[in-house]
Amino acid sequence: MDRIAKLKHQEEVLQFSEFPNEEAWKLGCYMRDRAEKKEFRLASASV
């Protein structure tokens, strides 16, 4: 499976039935903590 096909497949199957604000906050904090530990830069935007 080529990369584009794999990404399209993942986009189809990796769907949340719900994604409440609390879970989004936890995920964002986790990502920030991991990025800081590895000295990665992380950008975010809120809509």
pLDDT tens digits for 1-40?
A: 799 999 999 999 998 899 999 999 999 999 999 999 999 8
Give me the pLDDT at residue 43, please. 81
pTM for the model stands at 0.58
In this predicted structure, the answer to whether residue 47 has a pLDDT above a threshold of 90 is no
Fill in the DSSP letter of residue 39: T
Assigned token pair, 16: 């949340």
**CA–CA distance, 43 with 5 (Å, rounded to integer):** 27
Which residue in the block uniquely carries the two structure tokens 């990502």?
A: 31
3 state DSSP class of 35: helix
Whether the Cβ atoms of residue 25 and residue 33 lie closer than 8 Å to each other: no
CA angle 42, 45, 47 (to 5 degrees): 160
